[in-house]
Amino acid sequence: MSTAERARPRVVVVGGGFAGLQAVRKLRGAAVDVTLVDRQNFHLFQPLVYQVATGALSAAEVAAPLRAVFKRQANARVVLAEVNGFDLDQRQVVLDHLPNGAREERLDYDTLVVAGGSRYSYFGHDDWMSRAPELKSLAGALDIRNRILTAFEAAEVEPDEERRRSWLTFVVVGGGPTGVEMAGQIAELARESLRRDFRRVDTRSARVLLVEMADRILTGFPPSLSHKAERALEKLGVTPLVGHTVVDVGSDSVAIRSGSDEVEDVGAHTVIWAAGVAASPLAATLASAIGSEVDRAGRLTVTADLTLQGRPEVFAIGDMVRIAQNDGTILALPGVAPVAMQEGRYVARVIRNRLRGRTTKEFKYVDKGNLATIGRSKAVADLKGVRLAGFPAWVTWLVVHLFYLIGFQNRLLVVTRWVFSFATHGRGARIISETR
């Protein structure tokens, strides 16, 4: 390696999600050496994780190995490790749990980009986590798939009518896009895909309850689209419980409080959590390092160019931050993939401009709209004031998600699965991977 090559600025990117992935990809060909650190060896396409949880897609179809993604990017390397600290004065990232067993390794940087993402918040009830798995991770999706399919298997052999009803009751907590999509998929699974597979139990009798604390589902959409989505869910057999709150999750029941403060104990073995988002713990770690604080959702405040106050060499992006704009206002952008991707591309542009001695204008998010699918041929879309529902919105949803899915092979496999599923109502990934 020549002296010139060794002198290239070192960029460390923490997190291989949408934000981190875009930052690394947009630095391709730049005169920097990029190291991407992630505790997983794959990039997960989270918008389609719920289809893994309901057997529509397999895990490998929504995940792309990071080394495969960057195999043709000569200035990028991947390190499989967990980040447990930052030494901002020494410009080092502290790594732990490396695959060779190493602990407390230090990685030097000239520029640091932290894109730790987010996780679901259980609102102080972390003991519910084992009984109500989340949909932010691949492990969570596979766990949910096991629980859903096992519930139908249990109902098939359960002689007691009341216990059979509890096995066939599914509670989805959270009426955002993920919760709506999940509830619709479970209803379709029960009423279409499984209805001929069992002999003693009628899967069409399954109850799917969608619990949302607000007064309507999909609060990020216009009220008219929220109401259309609610009606579409009801036609699928989902019962939306708006204005309701989950107050306890047991091993075979869920306590749900209505707007009138009445609490109903609903027998249900399968509960799926899709409510409340908290920033990655890395946000608090960075805040502590600069003597700052995080907000109630655990988000770190960054400047208008997405850097830490007083640390222009450290960027923090994605779901784990909110932005202090130049006019003094604090902007908390939604934790969705388009935000993370635009921030990742922006950071790469800032780094490139700095190499050329140029300045960059503050980050501005361009909102291209919202999409949510409900079920077969059913979706809602709010695209720059253009509001769609039903089949047109569903086709739009398909095209957009295929476009952003990483890897040609995954796109081909997913579109093949979707065509087959649409034609046959089938789901080819209905595998219980472990016995609960």
Cβ count within 10 A of residue 259: 12
Euclidean distance between CA atoms 6 and 47, whole angstroms: 39
Would you list the DSSP string of 320-373? GEEEE-TTS-EE---SSHHHHHHHHHHHHHHHHHHHTT---PPP------EEEE
Is residue 93 within 8 Å of residue 247, measured between CB atoms?
A: no
Euclidean distance between CA atoms 94 and 174, whole angstroms: 35
Euclidean distance between CA atoms 181 and 183, whole angstroms: 6
Would you list the DSSP string of 57-73? S-GGGSEEEHHHHTTT-
181 is catalytic: yes
Burial 173-201 (b: 16+ CB within 10 A, else e): bbbbbbbbbbbbbbbbbbbbbbeeeeeeb
Is residue 395 within 8 Å of residue 363, measured between CB atoms?
A: no
Q: Give the chain's end-to-end CA distance (angstroms, integer).
A: 53
What single letter denotes the amino acid at residue 435? T
Euclidean distance between CA atoms 254 and 259, whole angstroms: 16
Burial of 1 (0-12, 13-18, 19+ CB in 10 A): exposed
Name the active-site residue from 61, 134, 181, 188.
181
Annotated catalytic sites, by residue? 181
